[in-house]
Chain A
Amino acid sequence: MITLKNIEKSISSKYQRSFILKGVDMEIHEGDFITLMGPSGVGKSTLLNIIGLLDQDYEGEYFFEEKAVHDMKEKNRSKLHKSEFGYIFQAYHLIDELTVYENIETPLLYRNTNSSERKSIIAELLDRFNMVAKKDLFPEQLSGGQQQLVGIARAIAGRPRILLADEPTGNLHSVQAKEIMEVFKELNESGTTIIQATHARENANYGNRLIEMSDGKIFQNIQL
């Protein structure tokens, strides 16, 4: 589904060029549940951003189902981005001024989904995450775990095929973290491809592949 060939990203300062990613090759298949692991600064988030089409500033080749993303025009890339990817952040990053309902609705608005369809999708998601009663609350009125559930709901509302999660449980305590991982597992089982970056080894157990990174390179690629 996704093929990365010799991806490199570097920052040039006055005297030297330091690499964040160096020679990364990667193959992602439909239905994969991949965990990226490694210490802070190793390039996990950068790699996720590149995969998620949020960062164009890299060298190397990126194919999405045979289409060369690195050569793609802005318009097509943004179309691809909109239709295929969903994002989940460590700090949830909900829009503070919007209610739970409206936060989930945002990606649908940008996809021009019509009103009645929007309603049914959101109702279904609220129901699935047991948040029906909380739909009119604002993010600050929710606990961290609940916020992250909203974050997930928002990420999958547009029915993306690939879900990218950057430290999704980093701000949560273990019970909430477990709950979130269960949700991921369910999503994966129903066909969504998931790539997550994490520090926690136990989270990797929910997936089918573990990629360990070190110094901007892939250090180990383990099938679980």
Chain B
Amino acid sequence: MIYNNIIIAWRNLTKRKLYASINIFGLSLGISSCMLVFALVWHINSFDKYHKNADNIYRLVTNTFEGSREYHTPGVPAVLPEAFQNDFSGIESSVLISGGHNGLITVQEAGQAKYFMESGLAYTTDAFFEVFDREVEGGQSVNILEKPNQAVISKKYAEKLFGSTDVIGKTFQFQKGDLYAVTAVMEDFPKNTDFPFEVFLSYENLKKSRESGGWNSIHSDDQFYLVIKEDRVKESINSGLAAFVEKYLGDNNRENRTHLLQPLTEIHFDERYSNFRYQVSSHTNKIMIGVAIFLLLTASINFINLSTALSGKRSKEVGLRKVFGGNRSNIAGQFLSETGIICLFAVFIAFVISSLAMPYMNDFLGTEADFSIIFSPIGLLTVFSIWLIISLISGAYPSLIISKLNPIGAIREQNQSKQSKTYVLRKGLVVFQFMITQFFIIGTLVLVMQMNHLRSADIGFQKDAVATFTLPERDLDKSRRLAERLRNLPNVDMVSVSFTEPASGSSSSTNAIMVESNEEYTVHIKPADEYYLDTYGLELLYGENLIKEDTITRYLATESFAKKAGFENPEDLLGVYVNIGGIEAPVAGVVKDFYSQSLKSEIEPTFIFQNHHHFRTVGVKVSEANANLVMEKAGEIFVNLYPEYPFEYSFLDEKIANFYESEQRMSTLFIIFSCIAVVVGCIGLYGLVSYMAAMKTKEIGVRKVLGASSAQVLTMFSKEYVVLLLIAFALAAPLAGYLMEKWLEDYASKIQLSWQFYLFSLLLVAGIAFLTVGYKSIQAAWANPSVSLKSE
């Protein structure tokens, strides 16, 4: 019996090759998207779950307040951990990690110095290996980062530095300063960790300078991790934190600082507090799961639609089977095993598609998701459930409806009344599918438009034709010499040395105190030289520019600060004395507002002043079209002054574009998925229209014999779909509009969704639908009635 069912299924497939391939292909697209997203979501959610303490590790984070605004940082004062351990008991273990250090590593080999520019180094202590699972070769994990000048490096890194893994006792120099001896080699970090450190340096080397800032200095990369096993301990910490802050900060707690325990499992998703790697907002996580479910839904609906449409053609076969003794369950079994087999094909194809697509997706998203998760029990179970559900639903309709038909009627294919009922069902499904397609199209349009908006919006300074690079050393004279030489290059308009470029991911903020009124405001600071405004095209509205000076005697403030400090007319701010970091000086000029971070954030009140201690970025404004050539020359000058360091520069517009990298990636991903949704939708529509055309061949023939023109027949076809399309639009537009408005709320600067926008998306879907339906309809309309009637 089973064999018989399989045979029939196979022959039905091969007999209707077009339908079968449409059907299977559409479904496999849906399933493969689902598999890809499954692997991705699994990967994203597996971050740092592998530590044996995973559920008991917490990070102590810091919140500060200014007025109604809340600021978040994952860092704590470097002096905090010691006090914390003294004041709270019951903590299993804890560790301070000071990450995000960059610099030059020098290895002496046979009298020859080798240089490596490294980023992402961390200072920590032995306790890291207690808190986190990271295997140390030989198992010796104490006294390896306890004393000054000790270092632990990964196997991979040992190979890189020394060309072997037998490196204990070997030394390297960091930033031309301290010499470190390798005390142990640790395993390489896994793909799914937010602690991607190749090199640990002994925290003892950093401790003094870090702790000199006391309780008021917080670096976001100084992060404190604790293992807390008992709820009781956790509760006592939570309730004791306020008193703890009070004890050490006392009256100094101007910004209402509070601390909070953040579970390790949330670190990968909570974008308010950064981590040492990359984050995925829980939004994105949910959106991806939603997209995958939608795709699977539309593909399944397609499949169900086509299968049920086709099964109508088989009522004769069902009738005969009933006449010859088949009962309902026999018939149902047959249809179910058929859809099961077809579905199985789709699943296999989906395996192939998604395993081929996986590396591309990883490349594109910068993730390292592993496809083999699909073959794990949970992955296989998921795939199996998808298979089972789709087979059951698409097999259920023919099993339930067709098997109920009166055999004699079925043989004569007299089931018009039943047909019309299924017709309504099919229409409902088509509406649903149109709805999903439209939803995707609207979403994609919003994403693309917002991305364009971000890229083209006025950010308050010039970003074209400016190249930037990092100063390797904090040597003022050297940097001045460098800037001077660069200025003498042909086609270099302007060179500025500063803390950062105007818009930068690493920003620094501090308190500005109005000397007269003693009012305090949190402001962003941009230490820079006198060429800063001209190099980056910032506009000086009132007063004067900075001058060349070694001590701070004047400040530049932005318009928004003037507004914040209550100066109706920004010009009035000129000459007003402000105290920043203990230095009192007048405001010499007011600068037009610019985005100091990215368009995602608000415009912040900002101060610009000469403070060469913080200079680390060089901006070069070039006038020639071929800026790369100019920068090559600049590179020669750089290497001349800093022979140990590699010269790496980037253009400001690219850097700015990088701020929106995650949006960019997400929008591309969305575009890809919505294309798949549209393709799947079109496939389904095409199949359905072909079926409808086949069903109506006789009707069309008769109409034409009675004098209907091709145009009238075409209208008859299109009218129906236009109505369905409009219904779907009425459902999709408000939903998509609502969700996308929500998403746009994250942006300080955003597009408006107008009615033209909705009209455009409707026309787009209508256009796509017409292209799909048009060909078949025209073919049906033009058919010669004498031929179509004869076949009946």
Question: A residues engaging B (CB < 8 A)?
Answer: 49, 54-55, 78, 81-82, 87, 89, 93-98, 102, 105-107, 109-111, 154, 158
Contacts and interface: CB of A to CB of B under 8 A. Distances in A.
Given A55-B408, A93-B411, A158-B325, A110 B4 contact: no
B317 interface: yes
B325 A97 contact: no
A194 B1 CA distance: 30
Given A97-B8, A110-B324, 9 more contacts: A49-B408, A54-B323, A54-B406, A93-B316, A94-B320, A95-B317, A97-B317, A106-B324, A107-B325
A195 to B, nearest CB: 15
A105 B4 contact: yes
Contacts, number: 51
A87 B330 CA distance: 19
Given A102-B4, A110-B330, A97 B408 contact: no
A110 B325 contact: yes
A87 B8 contact: no
17 contacts: A54-B406, A55-B408, A87-B324, A89-B411, A93-B316, A94-B320, A95-B317, A95-B321, A97-B11, A97-B12, A97-B317, A98-B8, A106-B4, A109-B1, A110-B321, A111-B325, A158-B325
A70 B220 CA distance: 87
A95 B331 CA distance: 14
B316 to A, nearest CB: 7
Contacts of A78: 327
A96 B12 CA distance: 10
Contacts of A98: 7-8, 11
Interface string B1-27: 100100110011001000000000000
A97 B314 CA distance: 11
Nearest to A98: B8
Contacts of B290: none
Interface string B473-491: 0000000000000000000
B53 to A, nearest CB: 61
Contacts of B4: 102, 105-106, 109
A55 B412 CA distance: 14
A199 to B, nearest CB: 18
A78 B508 CA distance: 85
Contacts of A154: 324
B190 interface: no
Nearest to B1: A109
A95 B11 CA distance: 12
Contacts of A89: 411
Nearest to B323: A87
A91 to B, nearest CB: 9
A82 B7 contact: no
Closest 6 CB pairs of A and B: A110-B325, A107-B324, A82-B325, A97-B11, A110-B326, A107-B325
A81 B323 CA distance: 9
In this complex, the member of B320, B325, B406 whose beta carbon has the largest number of chain A beta carbons within 10 angstroms is: B325
Contacts of A95: 317, 320-321
A28 to B, nearest CB: 20
Nearest to A57: B406
Interface in B402-417: 406-408, 411
Given A93-B316, A93-B411, A106 B321 contact: yes
B6 to A, nearest CB: 12
A93 B8 CA distance: 16
Interface string B649-690: 000000000000000000000000000000000000000000
Given A102-B7, A154-B324, A158-B325, A54 B317 contact: no
